[in-house]
Amino acid sequence: MPRIRVLPDDVANRIAAGEVVERPASIVKELIENSLDAGATKIAVDILEGGRRLIRVTDNGEGMLPEDAVTCLVRHATSKLYNSEDLFSIKTLGFRGEALPSIASVSRLTLETQAAEGIGTAIEVAGGQIVAQREGAFPQGTQITVEELFYNVPARRKFLRSESYELSQVTSYCTHYALAFPEIQFLLKSGSFEVLSTPAVSDFRERIFQVFGSDLLDELVEHQREFGRLGLKIHVFTSRPHVQKYNRHSMFFFVNRRLVRDKIIMHAVGEAYRNMLPSGTYPVAILFVTVPFDDVDVNVHPAKTEVRFKHQGFIHDSIRDTIVTALTSDKTIVAMQATTNSGSPYGLPSPQPRVPDSWAGDDPILNAPFTLQSPPVVLEGQPRHLELSFGQLSEASPQPAPTYADFDRVKLEVRPLGQLRDSFIVATDLTGLILIDQHVAHERVLFENYLRQKLAGMLEVQRLLMPIVVALPPRQLVILENIVPELAHNGFEVEPFGPKTVAIKTAPAILKAGAVEKLLRELLDGLERETQVMNIDALKRKIAASVSCHAAIKINTPLDETRMRWLVGELMKTDVPTVCPHGRPIILRYDLREIERAFKRA
Ligand code: ADP
Ligand code: MG
């Protein structure tokens, strides 16, 4: 008996589905690509329960004749490719003839289609088998409805994440294609909630405005360059260096208007911003690369988001140089402040900080406006700024190594001596020298107080003089929708304000008004980056940590002795004085014995 067999089609389709249909978002991507290939000018996407229950894509494209409507569900059936030569100059988004049969094999799929001439067709498929077919008259175009995704593949169903996560992925693809095709009208709805709506416009700028609003558009530099020799064109909208994102979700790359995730392009963008952005932060970049169709291989992966360039190095350098030229020729670029991160993330002038009038706590650091403080107290016989340098010890002597403090010991009696660079409190206790990072120390104090006050239902809330209006990208709007109730528990009253903007009306009293917008943006950036479904407890702590971080005194802030004493005392009262809510160390200690040994007195 021979042991090798050719797999039946239904098995082959399910295997292909493993690569093409990862989650609802990948289905939306394939269906949108089909609609674009069919010449549609209007594409509507409807989602229920993050796509688990229903995904529907409706277009007004060329539609299909009855015979084609049946064939399109067959594996490797495509109208976009006729011979293997065509494979090297693909002008359409699809070409593998795999998407529809793959999707149909793992869901209940309904196809309704109507070409300009001839009769319309409706076909129902369940788990890859046609279960019903009828003729009818439909509006011109195609509507594909995918229900009960993975109903017949429970193992895959388990990998689906929360509704909001899946929806945010769907939103990401829709946003991508909306950016790349300004001439096409897109509408994305989750139930009755309109996530994205972009009527047709004439150029990319207008589309970016529709999707992200004017705040972001104002921060982007546009630049276009042609590299005649290889027929390469690069068109970029890239952010000024003071725009700093904490994840890569604001980078959108297209090659011949196909969305790609490409390491070479990513690297080129990174190079362009090297020394301009702090590490771990990313720009906003919307980048269109146009290359001759035969200079790029799109048949690298079934999901078609990876490409291989014939002239890879040249493309890399051209992208980098285009962005650098864009940034350096932009006269409005503000001087970079290397470490201070003040103001709004878009570098817009932030509203005048306002000391909350409702603050009733006894926190002298929050109460005192630092810019107007009394002259610093000079401690007896001590220079106010201690310049500590262990580096000048003779080479033979071992340098005392700072160790993370061990708390029972530090709690004994800590006496602040002064500040190092207005950022670190230098203190002693009975057994050594202690350095305290004032920002994270205060953050820890506020964090624990905040959680306590919240638990006791005593959180103080301030009504902002003017609501703060914030424009958010569609993905973040979706995330925000989900956390509105928890934000409200934390004193943030956030309401929809326009199609893509929200208004913040109240905030916790410990925050200055100027910090509120930045906090919300960082929080959403962080949540967007989160890959695990977040439980409510983690979310609570995250919000508390952000609030504390934004309310805490900054580094480079002089503190007088009273304030240092207060801060150190409060820190020692906290449950965990050693690490800040984000996990950074708060205290370093130099043990007396180490110091003696270093001075060769031991
Ligand atoms: P591919 O896009 O790689 O050709 P698909 O499985 O996605 O493979 O689609 C198969 C064929 O079905 C397409 O080549 C196209 O002819 C037809 N088709 C799919 N979706 C549409 C649509 N929305 N409008 C018109 N024709 C479509
Ligand atoms: Mg396709």
Above 50 in pLDDT, residue 27? yes
User: Which SS3 state, helix, strand or coil, does residue 470 take?
Assistant: strand
Tell me the average pLDDT across 555-583: 85
Mutate to test the pocket of ligand 1, among 30, 100, 144, 298 (most ligand atoms within 8 A of CB): 100
pLDDT in tens, 437-453: 999 999 999 998 888 88
Q: What residues are in contact with ligand 1 under a 6 Å CB criterion?
A: 30, 34-35, 38, 59, 61-64, 72, 77-80, 94-100, 142
Tell me the average pLDDT across 322-338: 63
Which ligand minimizes its atom distance to the CA of 90? 1
Above 70 in pLDDT, residue 127? yes
Tell me the average pLDDT across 497-506: 89
Q: Please give the distance, rounded to the nearest whole angstrom, from the Cα atom of residue 162 to the centre of ligand 1.
A: 30
- Two structure tokens written together for 475: 């993905």
Left (φ > 0), alpha (ψ -120 to 50) or beta: where does 226 sit?
beta
Please tell me the residue having the least CA distance from ligand 1 atom 2.
94
pLDDT interval class at 241 (50, 70, 90): confident
Q: Cα 264 from chain centroid?
A: 20
pLDDT interval class at 346 (50, 70, 90): very low
The pLDDT value given to residue 88: 79
Distance CA 216, CA 473 (A): 9
**Is the Cα torsion angle 301, 302, 306, 308 positive or negative in sign?**
positive
Sequence-distant (6+) residues with CB within 8 A of 445 are: 363, 567, 570, 571, 574
Distance CA 478, CA 489 (A): 19
What is the average pLDDT score of the chain?
82
Sequence-distant (6+) residues with CB within 8 A of 522 are: 246, 345, 546
Sequence-distant (6+) residues with CB within 8 A of 166 are: 23, 24, 25, 50, 51, 52, 160
More confident residue, 264 or 533: 264
Which ligand minimizes its atom distance to the CA of 81? 1
Q: What percent of the chain has pLDDT over 70?
A: 85
Backbone angles phi, psi at 239, to 5 degrees: -85, 150
The pLDDT value given to residue 155: 87
The pLDDT value given to residue 26: 94
Which ligand minimizes its atom distance to the CA of 38? 1
> From the alpha carbon of 35, which atom of ligand 1 is closest?
23
Tell me the average pLDDT across 464-478: 90
pLDDT interval class at 334 (50, 70, 90): very low
> From the alpha carbon of 59, which atom of ligand 1 is closest?
23
Q: How many residues does the chain have?
A: 602
- Identify which of 393, 450, 342, 448 has the alpha carbon closest to the alpha carbon of residue 594: 393
Above 50 in pLDDT, residue 367? no
Distance CA 97, CA 103 (A): 11
Please tell me the residue having the least CA distance from ligand 1 atom 21.
34
Q: Which amino acid is at 161?
A: R
Q: Please give the distance, rounded to the nearest whole angstrom, from the Cα atom of residue 264 to the centre of ligand 2.
A: 25
More confident residue, 464 or 14: 464
Distance CA 197, CA 41 (A): 14
> From the alpha carbon of 96, which atom of ligand 1 is closest?
3
Q: Please give the distance, rounded to the nearest whole angstrom, from the Cα atom of residue 79 to the centre of ligand 1.
A: 7
Please tell me the residue having the least CA distance from ligand 1 atom 12.
72
Strand residues in 274-431 grouped as ranges (E): 285-290, 296-297, 308-309, 403-404, 415-420, 424-429
Above 70 in pLDDT, residue 409? no
Q: Please give the distance, rounded to the nearest whole angstrom, from the Cα atom of residue 517 to the centre of ligand 2.
A: 41
User: Which SS3 state, helix, strand or coil, does residue 213 take?
Assistant: coil
